[in-house]
Each structure stands twice: as structure tokens, then as C-alpha cells.
Chains A and B, each alone.
Chain A
Amino acid sequence: MIDGFSASAKSPVGKPAGLHRLVLESWVVGGFGLLLALAANALSPRGLALDRDYFPPQTATAPLQSPAPAPAPTPQPAPVADSPPTHDFRTVTRDQVEAMTRDAKFVTRKWLLIDARRPELHHQGHIPGSLQFDRFQPGQNLATVLPACLAAESIVIYCNGGACEDSHFAARMLRDFGVPTDRIAIYEGGFFEWQSNASSKSPPAP
């Protein structure tokens, strides 16, 4: 029998022995809970790596002055000069991304488009021809994305747009894996802008 308290009609916490037992119980629950949580996180396909910095600080060596190859030959002003100095990477506009997707280099994967959103969102809809890369689960498609990025001349990364930072952090991760910084650009408008501006013009996602 594992009685926690002696029989009494009063509140069991009022007794020092009961209080002691209560604290002990909570420690046992906490310990087991922590162990089970660690196991569940390790086994979950969406589990997080505890020791990884998912939000690395930007580097001081932002390549904003470097003459990076434009991903698309459009008459738009050069995005490099307009890029906010707070970011590590240059930015591109929707028109540039649209022109990029129509270019032959995009078909041959010399120019790459990377979707840094979660797989569920990618499956719901994405910019045609883009590869999915979830920075929280890089093991899932890094084997496909990294060689393609290393071989590409220019890479544009996007996420939802607005306050979304996943494209920036995905870019930093790819840079850490050896992709030259001057080949990477961010489409800051993201999928929301792409979808809202001219969804009717876009071909259906493959």
C-alpha cells in the first residue's frame, strides 16, 4: 500500500509529513516528465536539437558592397544598393524572381529558388520550381539542396514574407555549409507577396 497521508478529514497539506510527501511527489513527476520529454523530443521527427543555435546572429561581414550576380536580367534597379544594411544578404524583388523563373538558367538549376518554409506550407503551395529547405529539419532535404546550391550560380531564398525570418536564417545556414555568400539573395516579399500580387499569372505549382 502506498498511502501518501495518514487518514484525516483535514487538508492533507496541513500536515508536515503530507507536505513532504507532496514535494517528493512533484519532484518524481518532474524527473520522470523531463526524461520522457527528452525521449519524446529525440524520437519525434519534428524534435529540436537542443544545442543548435537556430537564430545565429548576423555576421559583421555583410556582402552588401560585393557585385553579386543578379538572379534575373530585369530592368529593375540593382537590389544590392537598396538592401537594408541590417541584413547579411542582398534582396531581390518579385519582378526579379518572376523573371528568374522564366529563364533557361532556372530550368538547368544554375539559378535556384529555395522555399525556407515548413514542409506543410510548401505542400500547400509554393513558387513554381522552388526547392524546399526547412532549417529546423535540415537533415530531411539537405542532401538534395546543398549540392544544388553549391553548383548554382545564384540562389534566391524566400519564406512567408513580412516579419518572417526563416529565409535569412536558412541563408546563414547554407552559408555555414559552404555556399558562397555572394551567390545568395533573399526575396523579402516572400510567398504572401508572390501569391497576392499575381497568382493568376503564375503557372500551377509542380
Chain B
Amino acid sequence: MSTAPALDPRPRPWSTGRLIHHGGRILLGAFLIQMGLVKALDPADFLKLLREYHLLASPWPLNAIAALLPWFEIFCGLLLVVGIVVRGAALIVTTLFLAFSLAILHRALELQATLDLPFCAIRFDCGCGAGEILVCAKLLENLTWFALASWLVISRHAPRHLLVWR
């Protein structure tokens, strides 16, 4: 009695696609940790910058975002770097980048109306952890991170289990 060799349906662990996936999640995770740390080390400054967006009038949500978001970013970044629940973390990061970009766009349009400058000449500290930056450059950067995070969610190289190294 002979048995047919079983086919292993899992993709090879170190294929090029997998390596790019690993590189992408580590890059995105490291970026989130760095940006989160800058804000977590000085949440008061982050709070002042958030207030300038004029999106939240009540102190409670404003304080909550300033106090919790940096640590939340660090947490998501760590998950991505370490490789735990990568797709869940990447989905949240995608949502975060979308929200950040909309907020930055709103603030930039507000500043443009006040300063009467070309849109891409608008420069302000968005509270993103990198100081003052040109709005177009920031939006482009966010779009890149958004695309990377989205790819981490939908990529066929994304791990099919909670731990990426399995």
C-alpha cells in the first residue's frame, strides 16, 4: 500500500515576497515606535498641537488622544516589529493614517484660508513627531505609509496565523 506525498499548502517561509513583507512590517513598526516615543515623551506639547486643529472642543477627548495615542502607536509598532497579530495591527494603523491625513488636510486648508498661501507652501507642526513640515510632503508620506499598511493587511504573504514566524 503506497501513500501519495502530502502537498504542503503553506508558502515557503523565506520567499522574496515574504522577505519584503517582513521588511515592510518592520519598517512601518519602527516608524510608529519612533513617532510614538517622541510624542509620549512630551504629551503636553502634543496636546497643545492637537488643540490647534480645532477639531475637538471638549477637554476629555483632547486629553485622551494626546495621552493615549502615542502609547497606542508604540504598541501597534511593537506588534508589527515583533510579528504578532500583524494583520490586525496593520488594519488599525491603516485607519490611523487615514484619520491623521484627513486631520492634517483639514488643518492645512484652514491655514491656507488664513494665510492665503499656495497649498503646498503651507508648513506647520502637525504633531506627528517630526516637527514643522510642508503639508504636501507630509500627506505624500502618510499616503506611502497608508499604502504599506494596507498592503500588509491584504498581501497574500501576510501570515495566516497570529504569530508571523509560524
Contacts and interface: CB of A to CB of B under 8 A. Distances in A.
B155 interface: yes
Interface in B50-84: 51, 59-60, 63-64, 66-72, 75-76, 79
Given A22-B153, A41-B67, A54-B59, A12 B76 contact: no
A12 B156 contact: yes
Interface residues of A, number: 44
B162 interface: yes
A29 B160 CA distance: 16
A5 B68 contact: no
Interface stretch (A31-39, A75-83, A84-92, A95-103): A31-39
A9 B88 contact: no
A105 interface: no
Interface in B9-65: 9-11, 40-44, 47, 51, 59-60, 63-64
Given A2-B162, A11-B155, A48 B66 contact: yes
A1 B88 contact: no
B122 interface: no
Contact of B161 (A1, A11, A28, A47): A1
Contacts of A136: 43-44, 47
B88 A29 contact: yes
B119 to A, nearest CB: 23
B160 A3 contact: yes
Interface size class of B (residues with CB under 8 A): 35 or more
Interface string B123-142: 00000000000000000000
B91 interface: yes
Contacts of B162: 2, 4, 25
B46 to A, nearest CB: 9
A121 to B, nearest CB: 11
Given A25-B85, A32-B75, A46 B44 contact: yes
B160 A4 contact: yes
A50 B63 CA distance: 5
A33 B76 contact: yes
A44 interface: yes
For A28, A29, A38, A134, which residue has the most chain B Cβ atoms within 10 angstroms?
A29
A205 interface: no
Nearest to B7: A7
B92 interface: yes
A47 B87 CA distance: 30
Contacts of A123: none
Given A4-B162, A13-B153, A38-B68, A49 B44 contact: no
Interface of B: 9-11, 40-44, 47, 51, 59-60, 63-64, 66-72, 75-76, 79, 85, 87-89, 91-92, 153-156, 158-163
Interface of A: 1-13, 22-30, 32-34, 36-38, 40-41, 44, 46-55, 118, 134, 136
14 contacts: A8-B9, A26-B88, A29-B75, A29-B76, A33-B92, A36-B72, A47-B67, A48-B67, A51-B59, A51-B60, A54-B63, A55-B51, A118-B44, A136-B44
